[in-house]
């Protein structure tokens, strides 16, 4: 009887030890003191019209809508829109993070028009082309403004911005009122702000 109990105890001990070995296998870890791992960062900032920080919109009808960071900043108001009118503004995008990035999305917001239906109608008649200023063939977007009002819209091209200090990309935003725009869109004073999005390259 003692022999049987002893053998049973050995079997239980063996099972416990095997379980312990299995547990150690799944939770095994090692520490190498002195190593440091730092996650990279993705961060972009921008300036409108080649120098004015971005708190203001890129396209505005009157100077008062411009929201300048400096009251002395030149007036880039578009004035009243009419069919066929075209305006172009610049945006300089800076890579302030530690990782290389690619621009991969655009969006827009329209204010200054109270009626949501008129906002939609106006945006549908506004043609937008966004491209790299130094390379007009590198087009990020070519469509109508209403497409960009629905949130982040993927860009056709994904231009690269390196992670070196001061790395940047100059973009041109061309806004044109379609010649088919009707009388209902007269007298509006829209303000258009664009946003750009980046992803780790």
| pLDDT per residue of the chain (201 residues) written in tens, 0 to 9 | 444 433 343 334 333 344 444 444 555 455 556 666 667 899 999 999 988 887 889 999 999 999 888 888 888 999 999 999 999 999 999 999 999 999 999 999 999 999 999 999 999 999 999 999 999 889 999 999 999 999 999 999 999 999 998 899 999 999 999 999 999 999 999 999 999 999 998
Nearest to 174, CA basis, from 134, 135, 145: 145
Q: Which fold has domain 44-200?
A: Jelly Rolls (2.60.120)
**Beta pairing, strands 135-144 & 126-132:** antiparallel
Helices (H), 79-149: 116-124, 145-148
Q: How many CB atoms lie within 10 A of CB 102?
A: 16
How far is residue 11's CA from residue 23's CA, in Å, rounded to a whole number?
Answer: 18
| pTM, rounded to two decimals | 0.80
Domain map of the chain by residue range?
44-200
Residue with tokens 């829209």: 190
């Amino acid at each position: 009887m003692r022999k049987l109990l002893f053998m049973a105890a050995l079997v239980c001990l063996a099972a416990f030890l095997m379980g312990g070995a299995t547990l150690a296998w799944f939770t095994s870890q090692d520490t190498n003191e002195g190593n440091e791992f730092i996650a990279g960062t993705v961060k972009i900032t921008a300036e409108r019209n080649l120098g004015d920080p971005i708190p203001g919109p890129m396209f505005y009808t009157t100077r008062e809508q411009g929201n300048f960071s400096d009251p002395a900043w030149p007036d880039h108001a578009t004035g009243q829109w009419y069919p066929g009118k075209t305006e172009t503004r610049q945006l300089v995008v800076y890579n302030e993070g530690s990782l290389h990035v690619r621009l991969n999305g655009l969006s827009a917001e329209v204010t200054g028009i109270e009626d949501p239906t008129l906002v939609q109608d106006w945006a549908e008649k506004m043609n937008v082309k966004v491209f790299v200023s130094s390379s007009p063939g590198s087009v990020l977007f070519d469509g109508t403004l209403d497409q960009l009002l629905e949130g982040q819209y993927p860009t056709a091209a994904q231009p690269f911005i390196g992670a070196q200090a001061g790395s940047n990309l100059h973009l041109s935003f061309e806004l044109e009122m379609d010649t088919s725009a009707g009388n209902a869109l007269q007298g509006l004073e829209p303000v258009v702000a664009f946003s750009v999005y980046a992803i780790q390259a």
